[in-house]
Amino acid sequence: MTNTSANKEPFRISFEFFPPKSAEMEEQLWQTVDELGLYQPDFVSVTYGASGTTKLPTFATVERLISQTNLPTASHLTCVDADRDETHDVIRQLRDLGVRHIVALRGDPSSGIGTAYVPHPHGYANAAALVAALKEEGGFEISVSAYPEKHPESRDAAADIDMLKRKADAGADRALTQFFFDNDMFERYLDKVVAAGVKIPVVPGIMPIQNLTQLKRFAGRCGASIPSFLDDRFAGLDDKPEERAEVAADVAAEQIEDLIRRGVNEFHLYTMNRAPLVTATLSRLGRKPAAAHQVSERALV
């Protein structure tokens, strides 16, 4: 594996949030932002639904993050079911909100994951084309996605890595991976990415496991695998939420610790808009909140 600088500097982190769908979820999100913001992430990102289905909630979340926090804020952007004029209108709106970092994605088919993707006849066909358009607009840092186990719609791993290279060549600054749990697999993937001439950083996506059963369903739709050792780690804990949360934090911390030993020093954490597992994971890794006072002790569930 070619990443270097392991253990020479503190590991870097970023967090992903999604727009809340209810008043209760909104309260939970902003409590999470308050707690995780103390860990001084490089940036936080906000997801954006297929064909702009969460456009207004995404905008509202991004605007509040930019206006009321000091967190560098990135917005996801997809090109599903949008013509080029519509896409550039969204880009201009994001710029007006103060966004200077975009996570550029093709997006899932609006007809649902697993259905055939059909590009808009007057839109951008894929994320590489969207990246090129953002570079032409200018003034944006650009992140893209990467898939250690390949995107479920890719013909094979080589085609998937070729798409990543096209995104990098178009001007992407980094790639954020789909979550995974097999670090050996990620190391093999990264070696292939480097061999293909991809020069941008590939940042591993880490998913602290809130609910293993739900995660398995989600992973099946997005092409990620769940190793059998996780069944062993969580066996017998269905009715023991506190113990289950402890194991979940252990698993995430152990994965990050192992990746650090392999030379990785940057991680993108999928928070699911919940702080406890993330803070517990970071605590296990010796990461402290930046504020002089400690985050209030909270249950992990």
**Closest C-alpha to 123, from 61, 163, 78, 157:** 78
Q: Quick check: is 153 catalytic?
A: no
- The SS3 assignment for 106 reads coil
Q: How many CA atoms lie within 13 A of 34 on its CB side?
A: 9
Give, for 170, the enclosing helix (H) or strand (E): helix 157-170
For residues 280 and 260, what is the distance between their CA atoms, to the nearest angstrom? 18
Structure tokens at 87: 């896409």
- The SS3 assignment for 175 reads strand
- Sign of torsion, CA 254 255 259 260? negative
Beta-ladder partners of 169: none
For residues 163 and 127, what is the distance between their CA atoms, to the nearest angstrom? 9
Structure tokens at 289: 């909140």
**Closest C-alpha to 225, from 210, 207, 238:** 207
- The answer to whether the CB of 270 falls within 8 A of the CB of 222 is no
- The answer to whether the CB of 176 falls within 8 A of the CB of 145 is yes
Structure tokens at 187: 């190391």
Tally Cβ neighbours within 10 Å of residue 140. Answer: 22
Q: Which of 16, 149, 187, 266 is catalytic?
A: 16
- Annotated catalytic residues are 16
